[in-house]
Structure 1
Amino acid sequence: MVAAANAIYVVTIVLYSLSVFGYFFDFMQTSRKVNRIAFWLLSIVWVLQTVFFVIRALQYDRLPVITPFEGLFFYAWLLVTLSLIINWFFKVDFFVFFTNVVGFIIMAFSLVTPDGDVPVELNDLLISELLVIHVTLILLSYAAFTTSFAFSAMYLLQHQLLKRKQYGKKLLRLDNLSKVERLSFLVTTIGVPCMLLGLILGFVWASIQLGTLPWLDAKVIGSAAVLIMYSVYLYLWVVKQQRGYNMALVNTAGFLLVFINYFLSGELTEFHFWNV
């Protein structure tokens, strides 16, 4: 089972890289044929990721989202899943490319992350339904915010093309600004409650299992900053009715906080010694 999982993982990485390269080629040269090939490669990647996920779940008899390797893999799987679903329903050109550039970077990070199981001495502490739900919700919020960033990146690109009056094939394939902006907002409305619930469950788990609340932990502070940033974004959208270029910049700043919180604060945290 382990050998099969490793083989699937390697093939997944290779096919994922080919898919992203295909989308990049289509982005630069506008090739519908290459775009279709890249899409089917990405679909195969999703199937292989799902098979790997199931094999690991059976191997360790738990939902594999706890360790750093599993967190990165699940994050990448969520991005592939969301990009395929949204592209299926909304047919937004270049969206899959923007999303899966980030997804592939996440997957690439997993290559240098230890892929072992939870340490035996921490098994009883970490194998908890409450903790698994906490981690799953946080990663789902990260995936939603990443997807929202992809739409904002498309908005910023189209805005610049229009500003410079570069009316080419690339501009024609980008959806109208209002649609991209609205989709960015809708995905953010999923991410914010997921992160809020995830943080609450994390505090509940810490209170029950550790008897303490890690208010000053770097990861907790970073997550709170992310939640505040995106809450401000929703406030500006819903209450202040703000739209346009500056809102896309606010969304992009929020995504940068997500990336910093996931990777940088993970090196500084003392409480989150396993994953997110």
Structure 2
Amino acid sequence: MLLNILYVSIIILYALSVLGYFIDFIQNSQKVKRIAFWLLSIVWVFQLSFIIIRTIEYNRLPLMTIFEGMFLYSWIIVSFSLYISRFYRVDFLVLLVNVIGFSILTISVFAPAGDVSPQLAELMITELLVIHVTLLLLSYALFTLSFSYSILYFLQHHMLKRKKWNKRMGRIGNLSKLEKYSFSFTLIAFPLMLLGIILGVVWAWLKFHMIPWFDLKVLSSFVVLFVYGFYLFQWTVKKRRGYSLALLNIAAFLVLLINYFLSSSFSNFHIW
């Protein structure tokens, strides 16, 4: 009962916070932005409380179901966005990141939320698996931030090209910084995802004495690594910059979303 009340409260407060950031972006209202920030802070506290209570209730870390993975993903995004809002004040980025975070959270309503069976729980609850899932969720959140900066780059590029000078352009940020931050977050996220996948492979071998190379989730994860690896290669080796690289980063995130939402549903190995 308490978890249900918390979950509904999180959805309502998160929606109000996103609405506040949107109003601030349209009207540049500092008062509304402060309210949105504190609402988001309450959401973070409620989400953390939800995670702790669920951990105690099920006597395990809440990482084992689709619902739990999406909920934790949303909490990590909220954590990053609060930090950015507090110390960097990139208004449009915070709005965009939280639109994604809120979407993830609301989609989790339709995900299976029940506990795993005792046999499966015994098999899955290992330190290796927890680290595997945690690293991947952190990489997803960082890739989300990288994608958000590329979207801002995309918007700013077109506004400059069409010579649409207005106050919002200053709030979005200059192209060089947007490009730099997008690359930086991808640079951090890529090795986290690589390590997460390696640990997943090791865990599968230790538990099942086999590696599901042809599982759809595994294959699509390597596709995601390849696309982001190509992006990093273009930046570091080819020294490419600009609009086309931003588009490549946006496309890479779309591949990541396909990997996250679709392959789990059709995977024979990743059954939650």
TM-score, normalised on structure 1? Answer: 0.95
Is 1:52 the counterpart of 2:50? The answer is yes
How far does residue 189 in structure 1 lie from its aligned partner after superposition? Answer: 1.2
1:88-99 equivalences under 5 Å are 88-99=86-97
1:200 — aligned with what? 198
CA contact (8 A) 1:219 1:261 kept: yes
CA distance in 2, matches of 1:89, 1:65: 30
CA distance in 1, matches of 2:32, 2:195: 41
Query: Is the contact made by 2:93 and 2:148 (CA closer than 8 Å) also made in structure 1?
Result: yes
2-side partners of 1:133 and 1:39: how far apart?
Answer: 30
Question: Does the 8 A contact of 1:152 with 1:180 survive in 2?
Answer: yes
Matched, 1:19 2:44: no
Q: How does 1:156-171 map to 2 (within 5 A)?
A: 156-171=154-169
Instruction: Provide TM-score, normalisation by structure 2.
Output: 0.97
| 2:183 alignment partner, SS class | helix
Task: Give me the whole-angstrom Cα distance separating, in 1, the residues matched to 2:194 and 2:187.
Answer: 11
After TM superposition, where is structure 1 displaced by more than 4 Å over at least 4 residues in a row?
Answer: none
Match of 1:172 among 170, 173, 177: 170
More deviation, 86-95/161-170: 86-95
Aligned-partner Cα distance in 1 for 2:245–2:50: 38
Equivalent residue, structure 1, for 2:3: 5
Distance 1:92 1:30 in 2: 12
Q: Which residue of 2 aligns with 1:75?
A: 73
Equivalent in the alignment of 2:231: 233
Moved more, 3-12 or 141-150: 3-12
What number of residue pairs does the alignment pair up?
272
On the 8 A contact 1:137/1:195 being kept in 2, the answer is: yes
1:215-230 to 2 correspondences below 5 Å: 215-230=213-228
Superposed CA RMSD in Å reads 1.2
Report the 3-state secondary structure (helix = DSSP H, G, I; strand = E; otherwise coil) of the residue aligned with 1:15.
helix
CA contact (8 A) 2:25 2:91 kept: no
**Shift, 1:204, TM fit:** 0.4
Question: Match of 2:161, as an amino acid?
Answer: K
Structure 2 residue identity aligned to 1:165: K
Q: Is the 8 A contact 1:137 1:197 kept in 2?
A: yes
Separation of aligned partners in 2, 1:129 and 1:142: 20
Contact 1:93 1:175 in 2 (8 A): no
From 102, 105, 115, the counterpart of 2:103: 105
Long gaps (5+) in structure 2: none
Give 1:33 deviation, angstroms: 2.2
Amino acid of the residue matched to residue 119 of structure 1? S
- Residue 61 (1) aligns with residue 62 (2): no
Tell me the CA shift for residue 221 of structure 1. Answer: 0.9
C-alpha distance in structure 1 between counterparts of 2:82 and 2:175, whole Å: 21
Contact kept? 2:142, 2:188, Cα under 8 Å: yes
Contact 2:37 2:85 in 1 (8 A): no
Query: Which ranges in structure 1 are unaligned for 5 or more consecutive residues?
Result: none
